[in-house]
Chain A
Amino acid sequence: MARSTAGLSVRYASLFLAGMVLVAQSVSAADLPPLPKEIKDKGVLKVGVRCDQPPYGFKDASGNYAGIETEMALQIAEWAFGSRDKAELTCVTAENRIPQLTGKKVDLLYATLGVTPERARVVAFSDPYRWDGSDVVVLKDSPIKHIAELKGKTVIALKGSNQARWFEEKMPDTESMRLNSTADALQALKQKRADGATFDIALLVGIAKNDPGLRRLNEPFLLVDASAGLRKGETQWLAYVNAAQARMKAEGLYRKWAVKWAPEGTVEHYVSGFETKRPVEK
C-alpha cells in the first residue's frame, strides 16, 4: 500500500515537473534529437543496471530496481517512449556488463561504468555524468592503516572492476581475490579470507556508515568519470543519450534522485559527484 502511494506521488511529481518544464522551456522535448530508428522500432528501452551498487543501482526491499542510475534509465525511457514502464531493465555485474552490451542483450548501460582506455577499445562512452574514486575497506580492528601496507596481503576486488586492474598494475605484490558481487566480497572480508576489499568510494560511503565492523582507509585512488556505455558506431543513439543527460543535469534531476535514494547524511557526497568537476589525482 505504502509502495503504491509512493509510486503515485513519484508519478505526480514527475508530471508536475514535466509541466513546469513545459512552462519554463516551452518545447523541452524538442530539445532532444530524434530517437534512432533501431531503438524506436523495438518499442522498449533495454538498459543494463547494477543490482548491488547502492545508491546507484540496487534492488529495494521489495525486490524492485532502484537507485540514481536506475532513475536515469527510467527517465530516458519516459522521454523516448512516454512511459517509465517502457524501460526493460537487466541486472548486470561488473564482470558481465560489457559482454551484455556488445552481445546486444541491452542497448545502453547505466552500470557504474568508469571510463578507461581498455573499455574504450570495445564500447562507446557517453559524456561523463559523474565522477568517483576508489578506496579500500578493512575490518575495524585490522592493523592496516595505509594502502601501501597491503603489500603481500590479500585484497578482494570485484571481477572486471577498475580496482582489480589497478591493484594488478600498481601493486603486483598484492595477492588478489576476485569475486562476483559486493555481498560475496564483504562476507569473505568478514570471514577474514582477505585483509582488505576495494570498491568505488560511492559504495563505501554507504557501507561504512551502516556497518561499524568496517573501516575505510580514506586514501582515495583511481579517480574516474562514469559514463553510459553504448555500442560503437551508434552515433545517433549516442547523441540522444548525451542530450538526455544534459537535460537531466539542467533540470536538477540528479539532486532529486540522490535525495530519494542516498542514505541520510550522504546525499551531498553523491550530489557533488554529479554536479562538480572531477579533481585531478595526486
Chain B
Amino acid sequence: MDFDVHYIYAQLPALARGLLVTLEVSGISIVISILAGMAGAAIKTMRVPLLTPLLNGYVEFIRNTPLLAQMFFIYFGLPSIGLSLSLFWSGVLTLSLWASAYQIENIRGGLVTVRAGLHNAALALGMRPWQYMRLIAMPLALRVSQAAILNTSISLLKNSCFLQAVGLAEITYVAMDRIAMDFRTLEMMLVLGVTYLLLVLFMSLFSAWLEHRLHKPFRM
C-alpha cells in the first residue's frame, strides 16, 4: 500500500474537528492549571495550616500515579459515587488535576527565589501577607518559573492524547479511528506528528516572546 496524499486531504475536515477538541480541552486545562498552580504555590509558601499538608498529599498523589489510571478513575470511577461528568469535562478535570500538581511546584520554585528583604519591606509598608503575595512575590515568581510553566503546559497538550482511550474525539482519537478503519497508519501518524510538532513549536515561540517581553526592565 503506497503513501496516499489524497487520503490525508479527504480526512482533513475530521482531523480539523479533532484538532479543535484538542485545543479546547488543552487550552481550558492549561488556564485552570496555571491559576490553581498560583493559588497552590501561594498557600504552600505561606504555610497555611491544614491546606498545606492537604496540598502536599495531592501533589504527591498525582505525581506518583500514572495519568492513564487517573483518567480511567475520573471517567469510569467517579460515576459510581454519583459524580458523572461529561466526556469533555472529565477530560478537562483529568488534565487540570494532573497539570496543577506540577504547576504548584513550578511556581513554588519561583516564589522561593523572591528575596526575604522584599517580604520585610512590604510588611513594613503595612501590606497584608496576601497583598504582598499578590502584588509583589507572585509577579516576580511567575517571571522566574515561566519556562517551567510552559514545559508543563506542553506536556499537558501532548498528554491530551490519552483522552482517546475513553473516547474523546480529539485529534489522536480521530487519527487512530481512521487507522482502525482504513489501515492508513503512515499517513495518519505523519499528520499527527506534524500537528503536535507545530502546536508545540508555536507554544515555544510564544514563550520566547513572553520571556523577552517580561525581562525588558532587567535588560541593559
Q: A residues near B, CB below 8 A? A: 94-96, 98-99, 102, 118-119, 121-122, 156, 159-160, 164-165, 177-180, 184, 187-188, 191-193
Contact flag A159-B180 (CB < 8 Å), given A180-B165, A191-B84: yes
Inter-chain CA distance A118–B176, complex, in Å, is 16
Whether A99 pairs with B76 at a CB distance below 8 angstroms is: no
Whether B182 pairs with A118 at a CB distance below 8 angstroms is: yes
Chain A contacts of B180 at CB under 8 A?
A: 94-96, 159-160, 164, 178
Chain B contacts of A118 at CB under 8 A?
A: 181-183
Say whether chain A's binding surface is mostly helix, strand, loop, or mixed.
mixed
Chain A contacts of B84 at CB under 8 A?
A: 191-192
Whether A98 pairs with B167 at a CB distance below 8 angstroms is: no
Inter-chain CA distance A163–B183, complex, in Å, is 16
Inter-chain CA distance A232–B179, complex, in Å, is 19
A-B pair count, CB < 8 Å, reads: 50
Chain B contacts of A187 at CB under 8 A?
A: 76
Q: Give me the 4 closest cross-chain CB pairs, A-B, nearest first.
A: A160-B180, A95-B180, A191-B79, A159-B180
Chain A to chain B contacts (Cβ below 8 Å), 28 pairs: A94-B180, A95-B179, A95-B180, A99-B179, A118-B181, A119-B183, A121-B1, A121-B183, A122-B1, A159-B180, A160-B179, A160-B180, A160-B181, A164-B177, A164-B180, A165-B181, A177-B87, A178-B167, A178-B173, A178-B180, A179-B166, A179-B167, A180-B165, A187-B76, A188-B167, A191-B79, A191-B84, A192-B84
Chain A contacts of B181 at CB under 8 A?
A: 118, 160, 164-165
Chain B contacts of A193 at CB under 8 A?
A: 87
Say whether chain B's binding surface is mostly helix, strand, loop, or mixed.
helix
Chain A contacts of B176 at CB under 8 A?
A: 95, 159
Interface members, chain B 147-178 (any A CB < 8 Å): 165-167, 173, 176-177
Q: Which of B166, B177, B182 contacts A184 (CB 8 A)?
A: B166
Chain A contacts of B167 at CB under 8 A?
A: 156, 177-179, 184, 188
Whether a CB of chain A sits under 8 angstroms from the CB of B120 is: no
Inter-chain CA distance A99–B178, complex, in Å, is 13
Whether a CB of chain A sits under 8 angstroms from the CB of B45 is: no
In the complex, the chain A residue whose C-beta lies closest to that of B180 is A160
Inter-chain CA distance A241–B163, complex, in Å, is 39
Chain A contacts of B87 at CB under 8 A?
A: 177, 193
Q: Which of B165, B166, B177, B183 contacts A122 (CB 8 A)?
A: B183
Whether B177 pairs with A99 at a CB distance below 8 angstroms is: no
Inter-chain CA distance A180–B75, complex, in Å, is 14
Whether a CB of chain A sits under 8 angstroms from the CB of B113 is: no
Whether A191 pairs with B76 at a CB distance below 8 angstroms is: yes
Most buried by B among A159, A180, A188: A159
Inter-chain CA distance A59–B7, complex, in Å, is 37
CB distance from B75 to the nearest CB of A (A): 8
